[in-house]
Structure 1
Amino acid sequence: MTTATTRSLAYLAAGILAGAAGFAWTVAALLAVGLLAVTQLGGPAFLGAAWVTRRLAAVERRRVGWVLGRPLDEPYEPAAPGTVRERVAQVARQPATWRDLVWLVVSFPLGLASGVAGLVVTAVLLGAVAAPAWLWAVPNDRAPWPLRPLLTTTPGRFALTALGLLLLPVGAALVLWLARAVAAAANALLAPGSHLRLVREAARLAETRSRVVDAQAAELRRIERDLHDGAQARIVAAGMTLALAARKLRADGGAVLPDVDLARRQLDDALAELRRLVRGIHPPILTDRGLHAALAALAADSPLAVHLQGDPAGRYPAAVESAAYFVVAEGLANAGKHAEASECTIVLARTTGALEVTLTDDGRGGADPTGGGLDGLRRRVEALDGRMTLTSPPGGPTVLHAELPCES
């Protein structure tokens, strides 16, 4: 109780000076920025004034910690590099910039009133408690009757001490209440608002989702590698062993040769199926040589005449390359199976912060954008904060377009 009261009293006392300093700075800054706003120095003056205002607000957030037990978090959004005009716009758009300014104006009358009240109450109570030590030196001959016995007699001074001790808890409660009221006002203006909390929560969710997507992509690459280096290698070895056995049986004229040939065909079918499975999980060429090479291999296997445009050396994040690959794979499959297309064009375009994939076929159109395969692709693209659109009027052409955020 004593520690909390002492901190609250220090907060109220410091608020008188802090409020006066903040108000003086606010007036000076507004005048300076207002006069320089019509010149080339307006932008730098605004940024400089905002920097100083934020430093003063930071001091206030630390001071609030004396009462609340912890400093307030900073409410500012990260600043992006840019020109002076762009930085001025960034700072001016943030509500915290103007809330800081409002607090520096409000804190002067609020701090003055609460600080004076807290100090007067404390001084009166402590003076009453210590009355026998000092009151004898102060002449009180003209004090009104109810106070004269208390101020001019020794028993009355000790009675003041007793009264002061009885009222100390009341004074401490008043000081705590004043400090908490001012701290609550500071918290309302200086703490992060709901907008910034939503921005930070969205950034945190985007970061965690990115980690999940990367972990999923790494897991798919591990499965592909295990299948390629494990099961597929063993099937190839078994096929080679059966081929050698078949060669020996032909030389010996064994009767089990048809069974060996059947086993070889079954192994070949299993190997082909396993390779299709591996390509469906994560094509090895996508990891080794990149998206352009993987799409070129996909186009070579397609029955359509496929034209691929884009940067052959371009590399993108693994999750982005995987999503783009399967968008194109599904688009080519649909064009060949359902659209009766004969020709298809794939365009890879790197824009600012995004990879755009456009697949256009000359089929009969009329594709359903809510189909199962396309809906799965849309969810895969949207998991990366991307967008996918399908335009397929009757008669064609069908255009499948995906935009995938790509910061690296």
Structure 2
Amino acid sequence: MSALPDDLTGQGATRSRPAVGSAAPGLARRWLRFAVGILLGAVTATVELTYLLALGSALLVVRVRPGTRRAAVGRIVERVETGARHLAEIERWRLATFLDSENAADYSGRRAVRYLALRWAVGMLGGFVLLLFGWGVLSGGVWVWEALQGESSLPTFLGQLVLGLVGLFLVVQGAAGIVTVDRWLARRFLGPDGREVLQRRITELATSRAGVVAAVDAERRRIERDLHDGVQQRLVALGMLVGRARRSSDPAKAAELLRQAHEESGRALDDLREVAWRVYPTALDNLGLADALDRVAERAGLPVQIDYRLTGRPSRAVETAAYFVISEAVTNAAKHARASRVEVEVAAREGRLVVTVRDDGIGGADPTGGGLSGLARRVAAQDGRLRVESPPDGPTSVVAELPCE
């Protein structure tokens, strides 16, 4: 997220939007990450092939030796599977870091061995594609140099240019295919099978349903508390002032009591609007998330910078969840974190709405506390994820990822 400007010292929101034409550098950075991931995959493929050949040969020798106990063979197989899991974990890190592919960590050692037995071939093929790309770059440089030196004719150079473009297209398609196959292999062997996916989904739905019920009950208790401690107390005071004014025989005193009652009624209306806004802001339906966040920034009591990068409106459920995540995080920063500024980023990344709220406060936020745990349940109900990072000395970062078309 971008930093706050130095001259921002007052309350309110500063909203920034992405510059036009920023998609091309992002695409270039993504393909660069893919290239680094393919290169690392070629290196790990060499290690994996060496590991499989060495331990496979050792296991074959042990099996054919007469008198070998079954327990000894079992121990060797266990060590092979343990080593395969270590190598598979490296692959999981590579896929998550460079190829944008998250995979489960609860696979067996046998499945890791099967995965490596096929993965090394994909890695070698990826290295070959990168070698072709490097050879094409060198050849293109030589062709350009010869053209500049006048050693090649114009038709020859044009033919070389067409050949180079065709080669570049084939290399890009080959790299995309390598990335696709690499992801598929990881999902096939490291990810859970269909039955496990269904069982996990059932568990997640049951947990999220219970969380939604708990969140609704907590919200009702909060509304009752706000009404009891705020609006109800002001209405009681208003009734007492009106009653005293009716019983007073002094016109001046009665007028003063009515003036106080009028002011108290205004404060009661303000409290009622505050409660209604916290339940659900009407601006979210009428104007959208961006304008609702501007209102949150105005009421925050500290500088809030909003980096809103959405070009369209998400679904109402996702928009509502994103709003309450930001509202609660900004409120916590103002009331508990002793922060001097808050940065909010709302962006869409690969089919997900990503909300990031970061403050410069003292940190130490408890993710299991009432407010943050309620947000986690609200996000989970939308099949999203909520991460809270709040070291003791700060800063605090709240990130919510919500599925969004």
TM-score (norm 2): 0.40
Indicate the structure whose relative CO is greater, using CA pairs within 8 Å and at least 6 residues apart: 2
Q: Which has the larger radius of gyration?
A: 1
